[in-house]
Amino acid sequence: MTLPAPVSRRSFVVASVGAALALGVSSQAQAQAQAHARGRGPFGRYGSPSARLDERTLYVHPGGLGDHTTVQAAVNAASGSGYTLVIAPGTYRETVSVSVARTEMTWVGASGEARDVVVVYDNAAGTPKPGGGTYGTTGSATTLVQADGFTARDLTFANDWLRAEHPGISGTQAVAIKVQGDRSAFVGCRFLGHQDTLYADSMALGTFARQYYRDCYVEGDVDFVFGRATAVYENCHFRTLIRDDLTGAPYGFVFAPSTAGANPRGYLVTGGRISSEAPDAYYKLARPWVPSSDTTARPMLTVRGTRMSAGIDAVAPYANMSSGFPWQDQRFAEYRNTGPGAVVSVLENRPQLTSSEARSHTREAYLGDWTPWKGC
């Protein structure tokens, strides 16, 4: 996706939404102290290496009190299906990859507070690779999950690459996490970045990966929730950021789905909210991404029961990414949204579902025989 220039703001790993603190402020020692202050050890209620919950539970601690000091080392040690990683409070500055063979894996933030446990790195699409070339959008991901059955609770996934610090790099996509596996669930997690924060995708064009996000927080600016997965975002908070590098609207787009044409289900946002620190009407709700690798894509997004702040352009909430694939030809719809950003003033600019149509746009319809909300 094409992008505008640098931004000076860094707002990751913060105690409250919108505070502008550098990433290092929430240090490992501080996060651990917070957890201990709540009357818990470094692994909370999840045992410890000396009191292991079961043989497939591994403990990660940055100071050496667990089985491993990095998340990737623990992933590598989980050489089969059904492992649980209990991750102690701390900032884990590393890239992490979960291969297709490591199915049914669970990551748990030990403190129960997502801001205490942070997995972060700072590659962008245009960042030079040590061996030559650049990382590209997928390669920029701090965390890559390709295995089916992945679950994460109470964790922060971040990419703190900033345009302002790299004015010579034009590939400014910087992914916090790319998720490709089927039956991937995230509960109480935070996803922090600027452009392309949360890449909800699948392993292949003909694979319809189902993903479920509940009670999560996502922030960014350009296309910061994107990809071709079948994804349900339930009770999630999406936050659009200020941009000091631009003088006019739009600053960016919340969603950029790239749903395969053969897939009957794309993105469903239900019971959520979209807030903004940008001026009124400086953000679009969505634009369709029809990638060059799949010009038959028909991006699909349904937003229902969601409150939108005035940061969303209520008059024209959708835009084109390419003139050859106008948003009107895609599958965008809304239903019973509220807030100043959801006001329907130009009906043709805001396609609305009927009550009858809305019955087929539910988490049950999108996720089929998979019921993660019952076990999360």
Is 196 labeled as catalytic in the residue annotation?
A: yes
The Cα 103–Cα 266 span in angstroms is: 23
The Cα 94–Cα 118 span in angstroms is: 10
Given 182, 196, 201, 221, which residue is catalytic? 196
Place of tokens 């634009």: 287
Q: Is 363 helix (H, G, I), strand (E, B) or coil?
A: helix
Of the candidates 178, 169, 170, 223, the one whose C-alpha atom is nearest the C-alpha of residue 200 is 178
Per the omega criterion (within 30 degrees of 0), is the bond before 250 cis?
Answer: yes
The Cα 68–Cα 197 span in angstroms is: 27
Q: Which two tokens stand for residue 69?
A: 């000091």
The Cα 241–Cα 202 span in angstroms is: 27
Start-to-end Cα distance in the chain:
33
Given 116, 148, 223, 313, which residue is catalytic? 223
Degrees, nearest 5: CA angle 375-86-157: 85
Is 116 labeled as catalytic in the residue annotation?
A: no
Residues annotated as part of the active site: 196, 223
